[in-house]
């Protein structure tokens, strides 16, 4: 284990990850590993790369850059690609070519982890499935991500976040009560799956330390999303049907968004004491004597009446005044509803250093949203920009022991692009 001058280390600094994934599920999973210090090498198709590189707009124009990956840089950089690929290195390999697969096998022989999110059966067709790679590295941890997993009648179906949000029940409980099902405004099931994949990978690495044996981790996006239903699943288990409730909560009240004179606030009274303090703070102690609102169960049963009573009070004053009075002075769980810009740029985020910056070789300094794990004795965080397409191809091959003449052969045969 390496440590810096202060004696601190990065938890996964000796872990080499081969990332065969595209888009969000695998990309975010391997980026989580990179954040913890793993060396993540992203294997991409020559001249094409990960489809998320081009999934914008917007695109950011490259500066005058003449290094590896310059052709891709000339096309512009996608900030969307950045958000799931900080901290990685990129190598271009044609896996349909025997020499390309050979280079991958050499890389895998040195690796700890391989992550892929091909459709079931595709990895075997390419010769990069677990059984094939395990022959080169018995201690390999191999993580396979797909839409519906590798068994069951839906195994061969295509799947994206939108489909899984619909199939998982998430859309059915998202949106206003009198409106249609709604998609969560971010790729929720992609990110849920990514976090399960990273968790499973690290768990398998820990188990390898104890047993000395590699492992295969297999998961589907639909499987990954279902455990997150929690409250809604609980209602279903006792024969109730969860419904769309806007910002309301099925088991707590008041626990929702309310209008103010100039925007909205969220109010989260998670227990009876908070409810009583809230009523006092807004000068509505009379609500405490109202049988409709006496207990949390009563308030849940009379949510619409409760919403009307509280909205009539909260819409009289602007958001900042309510936040100052209720959150700052009284310590109650009340907050504003930020847009994304304000969420990324406020005094709390600044104080915690959540949004930082890294130097990108083609476009200069770019922002990065740091991950939330903080350690007493270890360090985590991004110290490398998202890679340009193929930016590290030659460096990685040289590190595997390839000499310059062999690299030239691979370039001439079209297995890797010219740097």
In order along its 419 residues, the chain shows pLDDT tens digits of 565 667 789 999 999 999 999 999 999 999 999 999 999 999 999 988 998 888 778 888 776 666 666 656 667 788 999 999 999 999 999 999 999 999 999 999 999 999 999 999 999 999 999 999 999 999 999 999 999 999 999 999 999 999 999 999 999 999 999 999 999 999 999 999 999 999 999 999 999 999 999 999 999 999 999 999 999 999 999 999 999 999 999 999 999 999 999 999 999 999 999 999 999 999 999 999 999 999 999 999 999 999 999 999 999 999 999 999 999 999 999 999 999 999 999 999 999 999 999 999 888 899 999 999 999 999 999 989 999 999 999 999 999 999 999 999 999 999 998 87
Residue-wise pLDDT tens digits, 21-40: 999 999 999 999 999 999 99
Yes or no: say if 240 and 232 are a contact pair by the CB < 8 Å rule: no
Domain residue ranges of the chain, discontinuous segments joined by +: 16-227+352-412, 255-337
What is the CATH code of the structural domain delimited by 255-337? 3.30.1540.10
Q: What is the pLDDT of residue 7?
A: 75
Which CA distances in Å does 168 have to 146, 155, 221, 226, 318?
Answer: 15, 15, 9, 6, 38
Helix H or strand E segment including 314: helix 303-314
Residues in contact with 351: Cβ distance below 8 Å, sequence separation at least 6, in sequence order? none
Which CA distances in Å does 131 have to 165, 241, 312?
Answer: 32, 44, 64
Residue-wise pLDDT tens digits, 92-136: 999 999 999 999 999 999 999 999 999 999 999 999 999 999 999
Residues catalogued as catalytic: 190
Residue-wise pLDDT tens digits, 296-331: 999 999 999 999 999 999 999 999 999 999 999 999
Distance CA 303, CA 331 (A): 24
Can you point out the beta strands (E) in 36-184? 39-44, 88-92, 113-116, 141-146
Global pTM value: 0.94
Question: To which CATH superfamily is domain 16-227+352-412 assigned?
Answer: Crotonobetainyl-coa:carnitine coa-transferase; domain 1 (3.40.50.10540)
Helix H or strand E segment including 80: helix 79-82
Which CA distances in Å does 353 have to 278, 317, 347, 356, 365?
Answer: 32, 32, 10, 6, 16
Q: What is the pLDDT of residue 60?
A: 85
Read off the tokens for 408. 């030239």
Q: What is the pLDDT of residue 5?
A: 64
- Provide, rounded to the nearest whole percent, the portion of the chain with pLDDT above 90: 89
């Amino acid at each position: 284990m390496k440590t810096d001058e202060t004696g601190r280390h990065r938890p996964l600094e000796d872990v080499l990850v081969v990332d065969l994934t595209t888009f969000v599920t695998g990309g975010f999973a391997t980026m989580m590993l990179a954040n913890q210090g793993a060396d993540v090498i992203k294997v991409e198709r020559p001249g094409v790369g990960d489809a998320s590189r081009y999934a914008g707009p917007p695109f950011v124009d490259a500066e005058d850059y003449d290094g590896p990956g310059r052709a891709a840089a000339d096309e512009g950089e996608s900030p969307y690609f950045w958000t799931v690929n900080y901290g990685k290195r990129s190598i271009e390999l044609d896996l349909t070519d025997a020499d390309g697969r050979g280079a991958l096998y050499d890389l895998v022989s040195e690796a700890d982890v391989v992550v892929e999110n091909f459709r079931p059966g595709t990895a075997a067709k390419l010769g990069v499935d677990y059984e094939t790679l395990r022959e080169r590295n018995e201690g390999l941890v191999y993580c396979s991500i797909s839409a519906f997993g590798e068994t069951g009648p839906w195994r061969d179906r295509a799947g994206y976040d939108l489909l899984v949000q619909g199939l998982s029940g998430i859309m059915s409980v998202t949106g206003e009560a009198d409106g249609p099902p709604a998609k969560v405004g971010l790729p929720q099931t992609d990110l849920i799956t990514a976090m399960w994949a990273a968790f499973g990978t690290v768990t398998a690495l820990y188990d390898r330390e104890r047993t000395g044996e590699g492992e295969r981790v297999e998961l589907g996006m639909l499987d990954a999303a279902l455990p997150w239903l929690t409250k809604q699943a609980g209602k279903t288990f006792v024969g109730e049907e969860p419904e769309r409730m806007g910002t309301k909560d099925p088991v707590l009240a008041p626990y929702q968004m309310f209008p103010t004179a100039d925007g909205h606030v969220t109010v989260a009274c998670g227990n009876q004491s908070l409810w009583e303090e809230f009523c006092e703070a807004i000068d509505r102690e009379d609500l405490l004597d109202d049988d409709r609102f006496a207990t949390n169960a009563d308030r849940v049963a009379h949510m619409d009446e409760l919403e009307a009573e509280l909205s009539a009070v909260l819409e009289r004053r602007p958001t900042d005044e309510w936040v100052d009075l209720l959150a700052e002075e009284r310590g109650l769980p009340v907050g504003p509803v930020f847009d994304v810009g304000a969420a990324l740029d406020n005094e709390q985020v600044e104080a915690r250093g959540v949004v930082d910056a890294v130097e990108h070789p083609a476009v200069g300094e770019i922002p990065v949203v740091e991950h939330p794990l903080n350690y007493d004795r270890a360090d985590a965080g991004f110290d490398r920009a998202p890679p340009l397409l193929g930016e590290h191809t030659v460096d990685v091959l040289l590190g595997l022991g390839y000499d310059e003449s062999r690299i030239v052969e691979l370039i001439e045969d079209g297995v890797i692009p010219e740097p």
